[in-house]
Amino acid sequence: MAVDMKGKDLISIHDLSREEINQILDTAHILKMKHKLSELYHPLKGKTLGMIFQKSSTRTRVSFEVGMYQLGGYALFLSANDLQLNRGETVADTARNLSRYLDGIMIRTFSHQDVVDLAEYSSVPVINGLTDLLHPCQVLSDLFSIKEKKQDLEGLKLAYIGDGNNMAHSLMFGGAKMGMHVVICSPSGFEPDSEITRLSRLDATRTGATINILDNPVDAVRTADIIYTDVWASMGQEEEHEKRLKSFSEYQVNGTLLENAKEDVLVMHCLPAHRGEEITDEVIDGPRSIVFDQAENRLHVQKAVMALVM
Same domain, 278 and 160: yes
pLDDT of residue 150: 97
Is residue 19 a part of any domain in this protein?
Answer: yes
Indicate whether 272 and 189 sit together in one domain: yes
- 168 shares a domain with 232: yes
What is the band of 217 on the pLDDT scale with cuts at 50, 70, 90?
A: very high
Classify each residue of 21-60 as buried b or exposed e, where b means 16 or more C-beta atoms within 10 Å of its C-beta.
Answer: bbbbbebbbebbeebeeeeeeeebeebbbbbbbbbebebb
pLDDT digits (tens, 9 = 90+) for 51-98: 999 998 999 999 999 999 999 999 999 988 888 776 678 999 999 999
Is there a single domain that holds both residue 159 and residue 265?
yes
Q: Cα separation of 141 and 298, whole Å? A: 5
pLDDT digits (tens, 9 = 90+) for 89-115: 899 999 999 999 999 999 999 999 999
CATH number of the domain within which 208 lies? 3.40.50.1370
130 and 147 part of one domain: no
Q: Are residues 143 and 272 in the same domain?
A: yes
Which residues have CB under 8 Å from 263's CB, separation 6+? none
Same domain as 290, residue 147: yes
Does 260 map to a domain? yes
In this structure, are 177 and 52 located in the same domain? no
Backbone angles phi, psi at 278, to 5 degrees: -75, -20
Region 252-274: mean pLDDT is 98
Q: What is the per-residue DSSP string for 95-155?
A: HHHHHHH-SEEEEE-S-HHHHHHHHHH-SS-EEEEE-SS--HHHHHHHHHHHHHHHS--TT
The per-residue pLDDT for 82 is 81
Over pLDDT 70: what percentage of the chain? Answer: 98
pLDDT at 86: 62
272 and 144, same structural domain?
A: yes
Q: Both 36 and 84 in a single domain?
A: yes
Question: What is the mean predicted confidence (pLDDT) over 137-147?
Answer: 98
State the residue range of the domain holding 215: 138-294
Active centre residues (catalytic):
108, 135, 138, 230, 270, 298
Is residue 41 predicted with pLDDT exceeding 90?
Answer: yes
- Give me the mean pLDDT over the 117-145 stretch: 98
> In this predicted model, which residue has the larger pLDDT, 136 or 1?
136
Backbone angles phi, psi at 51, to 5 degrees: -115, 105
Same-domain status, 145 and 107:
no
> Would you say 47 and 310 are in contact if contact means Cβ atoms under 8 Å apart?
yes
Q: Are residues 118 and 66 in the same domain?
A: yes
Please count the other Cβ atoms lying within 10 Å of the Cβ belonging to residue 112.
18
Does residue 4 fall inside a structural domain?
no
Contact 306, 44 (CB under 8 A): yes
Strand order in the sheet with 266-269: 210-214, 181-185, 157-161, 226-229, 266-269
Does residue 236 carry a pLDDT above 90?
no
How many independent structural domains does the chain possess? 2
